[in-house]
Amino acid sequence: MEYGSLAFQALAATIKIVFMILGFLMPLASILTWMERRESAMMQDRLGPNRANIGPFKLWGITHFMADAVKFLFKEDFVPPKAHKFLFMWAPIMAMAPALIVAAIIPFGPPLCWNELLEKNPVCGQPINLQIAQLDVGLLFYFAISSLAVYGATLAGWASHNKWAMMGGLRATSQMMSYEVTMGMAVLGSFLVYGTLEPGAIVAQQTHIFSLGHYHSSWGIFLQPAGFVLFLTAAIAETKRTPFDIPEGEPEIIGYFVEYSGLRFGMFFLGEFLEIVVSSAIMITLFFGGYHWGNTIDNALLSHLPNFVFVLAMFGLWTVKVFAFCGFQLMIRWSLPRFRSDQLMRLGWQRLLPISIANVVATALVVLWAQQ
């Protein structure tokens, strides 16, 4: 098959999609369901679930997520009699699909050099970008699709014919709308610094961890510290988890999925963890150099390993980064108490939004000054 032909591109894209979903997103999200329970247990001086096993293999209880899936499969799939059947069925898909679609723009490794797979220090005349969709609108696509996730929550709340679910859906809507604005403003800062919205290009620039001589190629966290805190806050709010779990609100309303059971609930559940993985990956892309681990390590690996091994190693290191960041998000979820609904709105509109606008203005001025 000839490099660059339509068939080649289609095959490469298919392989990348299948690999990304089955090889990365789903396994990581499934393991996170177990990891959240174990990590919170360790933080609270407990042991957590460690019993599930396959024969003699316990694996510290990692197989709990399989047991969960089997349980979900065998539970009754209950649909409330007065529910809107079609929307009730559609809502979990709407909640889960955006997270999967958004993953298309995440670069998960350096370009694979097609005709130099075994070369060290390849010229890379025929690169295959390890990124499913190389969109110039990149981050705008992220916002467009991830804000669709609000439909999942809203539809679930509406279709359940349940007042609590309705309340949860409304709360989810207001919360996700509010924090979307801050998120966009936070990314605007990164856009000003790197001059592009394409995630692959943003990552390609972050070759140094931090160096004054190459300040424009440092990691985003050092160029946009305020932007990172804002984006992190907004991203956690988007995933609807503590401290921003107003839509679920276990103590007062159960939330928009109160009527869901079995696999449909499992989709909401998994969708939440997919959102964690994807938002972690986006934050790694924007603020922690994507697959880069600093100039020294990158170049050492590039010059000592055959190209395809190098790419695999970088993918592994990127996975480590994403995994650690997921762990960090879980830690935040189990450390902080939740906001009240009005506190949430005040934080979003009166604190984060002005700060994010100020961040954009300040970044613009600094960039202008640096260019002259």
Partner 1 sequence: MAVGVKVVNRPGSLAQQAYLPAIAEGLGVTFRHFVKNFFGNVTGNRKKTDIATMEYPEEKMKYPERNRGLHRLMLRDDGQVRCVACMMCPTVCPAHCITIVPEEAPDGRIEKRPMIFEIDELRCVVCGLCVEACPCDAIRMDTLDHAKPTYRRVDAILDKEELMSRGIQSTAVQGGVGAFWRERVGGQPQTPPAGAVVPAGAPHGPTPLRDHGHK
Interaction with partner 1 in 221-260: which residues (CB under 8 A)?
229
The pair phi, psi for residue 111, each rounded to 5°, is -60, 140
Does residue 2 belong to the site contacting partner 1 (CB under 8 A)?
no
Interaction with partner 1 in 103-132: which residues (CB under 8 A)?
none
* Rounded-to-5 percentages of helix, strand, coil across the chain: 70, 5, 30
CA 293 to CA 223: how far, in whole Å? Answer: 16
- Can you say whether residue 106 is alpha, beta or left, with left for phi > 0 and alpha for psi between -120 and 50 degrees? beta
Quick one: 142 or 179, whose CB is closer to partner 1?
Answer: 179
The nearest distance, CB 349 to partner 1, in angstroms, is 15
**How many residues would you count in the chain?**
372
Interaction with partner 1 in 8-67: which residues (CB under 8 A)?
39, 41-47
The nearest distance, CB 280 to partner 1, in angstroms, is 16
Q: First and final CA of the chain: distance in angstroms?
A: 49
Quick one: 23 or 354, whose CB is closer to partner 1?
Answer: 354
The CA-atom distances, in angstroms, between 53 and each of 33, 41, 249 are 16, 19, 33
Instruction: Locate 281 and state its tokens.
Output: 């990956």
The nearest distance, CB 44 to partner 1, in angstroms, is 7
Distant-in-sequence, close-in-space partners of 6: CB < 8 Å, separation ≥ 6: none
Contact predicate 25/279, CB 8 Å? no
Beta strands (DSSP E) in 209-326 are none
The nearest distance, CB 38 to partner 1, in angstroms, is 9
Quick one: 58 or 163, whose CB is closer to partner 1?
Answer: 58
For partner 1 (CB under 8 A), the number of binding residues is 14
The nearest distance, CB 337 to partner 1, in angstroms, is 9
Quick one: 47 or 118, whose CB is closer to partner 1?
Answer: 47
Pair type for strands 109-113 and 127-130: antiparallel
The nearest distance, CB 207 to partner 1, in angstroms, is 29
Does residue 335 belong to the site contacting partner 1 (CB under 8 A)?
yes
Binding letters toward partner 1, positions 293-332, x by CB under 8 A: --------------------------------------xx
**Which residue ranges make up the site for partner 1 (CB under 8 A)?**
39, 41-47, 229, 331-332, 334-336
